[in-house]
Amino acid sequence: MDFWEWLRILFISIVEGITEWLPISSTGHMILVDEVWKTSATTVLTPEFWRVFLVLVQLGAIMAVITVFFRRLNPISKKKNQEERKRTIELWVKIVIGCLPAGIAGILLDDWLDAHLYNGYVVAAMLILYGILFVFLESKNKHRKFQVQKFSQMTYQMALLIGVIQILSLIPGTSRSGVTILGAMLLGCSRYIAAEYAFFLAIPIMTGASLLKFFKYLLSGNGFSGTQLLIVLVGMLTAYIVSFFVIRFLLQYVKKKDFSAFGFYRIILGLVVMVFFLIS
Residue 196 has pLDDT above 90, yes or no: yes
186 Cβ contact partners less than 8 Å away, ≥ 6 residues apart? 137, 165
pLDDT tens string 133-174: 999 999 999 888 999 999 999 999 999 999 999 999 999 889
Identify the three-state secondary structure at position 189: strand
Residue 1 has pLDDT above 80, yes or no: no
Instruction: Round to whole Å and give the CA distance between 175 and 55.
Output: 15
Identify the three-state secondary structure at position 220: coil
State residue 186's pLDDT score: 95
DSSP per-residue letters across 5-42:
HHHHHHHHHHHHHHHTTTTT-HHHHHHHHHHHS-----
- Average pLDDT value for residue range 83-104: 94
pLDDT tens string 3-44: 888 999 999 999 999 999 999 988 778 777 877 787 666 778
State residue 158's pLDDT score: 96
The separation between the first and the last C-alpha atoms of the chain, rounded to the nearest angstrom, is: 28
- Average pLDDT value for residue range 248-274: 93
**Letter for the amino acid at 54?**
L
Give the Cβ contact number of residue 219 at 10 Å: 8
Give the Cβ contact number of residue 104 at 10 Å: 12
Instruction: Round to whole Å and give the CA distance between 25 and 133.
Output: 14
Instruction: Round to whole Å and give the CA distance between 85 and 128.
Output: 42
Residue 257 has pLDDT above 90, yes or no: yes
Higher local confidence (pLDDT), 2 or 149: 149
pLDDT tens string 102-122: 889 988 987 888 788 887 888
Residue 215 has pLDDT above 70, yes or no: yes
What average pLDDT does the structure give for the chain? 90
